[in-house]
Chains A and B, each alone.
Chain A
Amino acid sequence: MTEPETTLEGWTPEPGPDLPLERIIDLAFDYRGDTTVVLTDGTELRGYVFNRNADAGEPFIQMFDADGAGPRAIPYSRIRTIRFTGRDPAAGNSYALWRRRKETGGAGRDERGRGQG
């Protein structure tokens, strides 16, 4: 049996003792959709987090803005939290789902997954 597909889409975590900011950043880095990075001064930056370096002297993330501009680097110390606001392009696109759709005569793969922007 296939595990039910889960996605972080729509998640708005708040860092705390059980959920350190570093963990949220790791999850945002793994997330395939856009996120909203909330800075300590209240500024919100929407875009795709493609890199994070926790080993650097000053740990940082890198992101492209939602309009494609960038990349910009943001130190961990300036980040309050990250919200998973963009659509998850990986969700619902598993091989198992595709087969199920095929076997039940469904429309096949969702066109959004074709990567044509």
Chain B
Amino acid sequence: MIKAVIIDDEPAMQEVNSRLLADYFPGIKLMGKADSVETGVRLIQTVEPDLVLLDIEIKGGSGFQILQQLRPYKFKVVFITAFDNYAIKAIKFSAHDYIMKPVNETEFQQAIQRTLADIEKNTDDQVQTDILMDSFRKEIQSKKLVLKTIDSLHIIDISDILFCQSDNSYTTFYFENNERIVVSKSIKEYVELLKDYSFFRPHQSYLVNLNHVKKIDKTDGGFIIMKNKKEIPVSLRQKKQLISLLEQL
């Protein structure tokens, strides 16, 4: 039996989420609800849940404060948020799951499903929590990124990424020595996250770390040649911007 709690300052949302949990996940037992930092901490300490549905904006502060007070913890968190802001960025950097308000049932199911899989594997995700907290505190300047695959959490230095390649809703990260990591998220997510780390999207399907670019081949529409000799196509549309960006580096 999986124990869960919901921390949200909006009674209607508490209701919606508990309803959805009951409907779709009969194996999860809801142990209680809270609406503030203080009551949330107490609730978690009392029931020791496996899963916490945590709203970011709650009474008395932010959901992150609860996590800060309870560290180190073993439960898994799914964030709930009403609006896209820097908190979302921290969540994305650390590869945590989140649900946008109002809840889209499909998204809800997927997010909870993924988290249940993590609970089953009982992985140690202390590092993931560290990156979450770091990213949140420093707002954007985290040097680490968490990549979550079916079987593991990869903590990587952003500067080690050579480039990313998109394949529909999957994204492949390429590193030195031909290492690669495939995650089931669209490349679009990472464009936003990495644009402040001199990453550039030369093509619809590629996101390139400009620090690993060796040269630009201008023949035949144009190619970026990476330090590992991999060639990446450049869309005609992005050529001008790419050149001006490289000149600034």
A binds B: no
B residues neighboring A (CB under 8 Å): none
A residues neighboring B (CB under 8 Å): none
